[in-house]
Amino acid sequence: MLPVWLLGVLLIGYSLFQTVTTAGSEEAQGSPFVNSSVREAIRLVNRADRKTRDRDSVKQKLLRRSASFKELMVLFNQPTAETRTGIRSAENMQAALNLIQRRAHHVHKRSLNISDVQSNNDLSHILQTSGCSPLTKLPVCTEETEFYRTINGQCNNRNNPLLGAAFTPLKRWLAPEYEDGITIPRGSKKGLLYSGFPLPLVRHVSNKIRNFLNYETPLDFKYSQFLMQWGQWIDHDLSLTLMSGKGDVDCGTSCSKEAPCFPIEIPQDDHRIMDPNGCLSFFRSAPACVTRQSAKRFGNLHTREQLNGITAFIDGSMVYGSTKAQANLLRDQTSNLGRLRVNEAFTDNGLEHLPFMNVSMNPCAQSRCQTVDDDHPDIPCFIAGDKRANEHIRVTVLHTIFVREHNRLARELKKLNPHWSGERIYQEARKIIAAIHQIITYRDYLPKIIGPRAMRKYLPKYRSYNSSIDPSIKNAFATAAFRFGHGTIHAIVPRLNESYKEHHKFPNLLLRNSFFTPGKLIYQGGIDPFLRGLIRYPNKLMKQDIVLVNDLYDHLFENVSQVADDLASLNMQRGRDHGLPGYNSWRRFCGLSAPKNEEEFSKVLKNPTVANNLIKLYGTPENIDLWLAGIIEPFVKRGRVGQLFACLIGKQFQELRDGDRFWHEQKNIFSKEQHQTLLRVSLARIICDNSKIEFLPIDVFVLNPFLNCRWIPKINLNFWKDVM
């Protein structure tokens, strides 16, 4: 039976719908099958136990007492007010479709498919009843959207204005696989078999792959830690999976699988968490409102899809935000100069810091690793275009660099064009920032990751924008493939002085002590020591027997949490939450061999020991969680991922490029002279212009000899000067 709260909201939505539509109107009514299902929902609500439902929300709890970390994370990762209503509407719609599905099964002895919603009126009826109708309505694309990107990504594709927009579903290359075919993640019910074998607990898998390793961290002596950090930075430009909107449930206090919780169960022999009946907290991702068009490819309406809370495009959304409200909050409204807000209380040796978040409580203020000593007050979280700006201090560093770069561009553009309005300056600087990210990512980053063969296959020379390509982020990319970088994170966060030696006053940090710690940028030397560490220290080398460093297995967020999280478990549980098929389905999708047994799997991995260990856990390669199987494949030639992830990453970045109407190489986006000078950009130059660093490699992703900043090319902004 559906949770009463969902049915209650559905009833309210239905009643509101009845009051705002004409009684008996043919357009307002669905088919008898759909209408009878809604009536059944009402009947169930009327029969339901009417116990009190006014449990305190997380926010109200915070006002009464000290919050647990899990409660803080609920508050911190909840969608904004603009999107919260939409998530609740999507949950209502899913409840209605699930009820129709059950009636189809019990009454008609068959599963629901798209033909069961017999007319557009049926779907309109469900959309309006649930509250999804306004969210799935196509926006009107005005003339202004011809020249600059919208902040929410709408109208990039003028034929289909929601493609790639914020708050639209993650798309799929393969149909989802849920335990019930609708929404329940695989592995939820004990005893079920998949390809003849049960799915292991993700924490059990995490413990076993950790036991494969020794604790000598392998180093990648070719690439710096900046390669890893840029991957995370770009990931935050592409996808943000929002948490389910039911804020009155605390998934951190029990092992209940009540929505929206999907707890990570602790195995009996767990080495760290001794309570065999305990769980690690896990909130399911928010569902998306479903339309006939979004369901058409896989032929059903009822399976759960997840939301992307930000724009899909490489557009600098982590700098500017993906909603109008967020963008306006980040802009300097005190002048008409087109700049972004900066911190009013602190500077970094005269350079700008990010502004503070205006909330009374947040994870940063509760971090046990926040400041040097008790003489410093707690520093709140910074605010930026992406919610994750404070999760790790080096992400905060990149946010700081690009806010400074936007404001530097804005100042220069104003000097060149004093007559430009603040809006024009803001949009032109934002346009340049987006192009910078595209160029660095495709020219300097991706070839090092997916290798030259995949680059030739998926990203040959750019031709032109193709409006038939869907640039939306694909679920498998966001949930598994582009999380490969977790295997390249080192346990040491280096802080270096001007000579690129460990800072005598502010020494290197352990990774576990670098989450939610903005105070270290305010009181401990600013961003430059962290930038030098990213430039000078080698990446961790991803190896099959050393998947993650121990700080990510046993110490994730422990500085703000009573029980540390486990990143490997989180990644695999998220894949199941999203209904991602197993390893071999994706190998077949990419045209690769699908190993049937341990012998064939050993050949794919080129490692019989690891293959044997995984077969013992999963029984068959068919069942292995995509993130785990993909991350342990041997590297492609001159790359840092295996064949499968080179395919999925290459395909996604091909779609992002060719399906973006504002791509920097597209005709009429920049003048010929502007585009030629933009190609001179480098991340090294951005650092030179926005820090006190004077010596660094021209390609900061590579452990190369250093140059003085004066030898590193600049963008010539004179090509943006209007001819009066």
First to last CA, the chain: 70
What amino acid positions are annotated as catalytic residues? Answer: 236
CA dihedral (529, 379, 58, 9) in degrees, to 10, reads -70
Give φ, ψ of 553 to 5 degrees.
-80, -45
Summarize the chain as % helix, strand, coil (round to 5): 45, 5, 45
Is the separation of the CB atoms in 254 and 278 below 8 Å? no
Angle between helices 32-47 and 120-130 (to 10 degrees): 30
484: Cα within 13 Å, side-chain hemisphere? 32
Q: Give the C-alpha separation, 354 to 389, whole Å.
A: 10
Q: Which of the 8 DSSP states describes residue 442?
A: I
Q: Give the C-alpha separation, 117 to 301, whole Å.
A: 9
Q: Which of the 8 DSSP states describes residue 168?
A: E
Q: Give the C-alpha separation, 584 to 192, whole Å.
A: 19
Q: Give the C-alpha separation, 228 to 223, whole Å.
A: 9
Other Cβ atoms less than 10 A from the Cβ of 27: the count is 10
Residue matched to tokens 């791509």: 663
Q: Which helix (H) or strand (E) holds 572?
A: helix 567-577
Q: Tokens in use for 645?
A: 């992830």
CA-wise closest residue to 75 among 54, 56, 58? 58
Residue matched to tokens 């030639």: 637
Give 517: exposed, middle or buried? Use CB within 10 Å, 0-12, 13-18, 19+: buried
Give 196: exposed, middle or buried? Use CB within 10 Å, 0-12, 13-18, 19+: exposed
CA-wise closest residue to 170 among 285, 284, 82? 285
Helix ranges restricted to H, 263-375: 292-296, 317-320, 324-330, 363-366
DSSP bridge partners of 538: 224
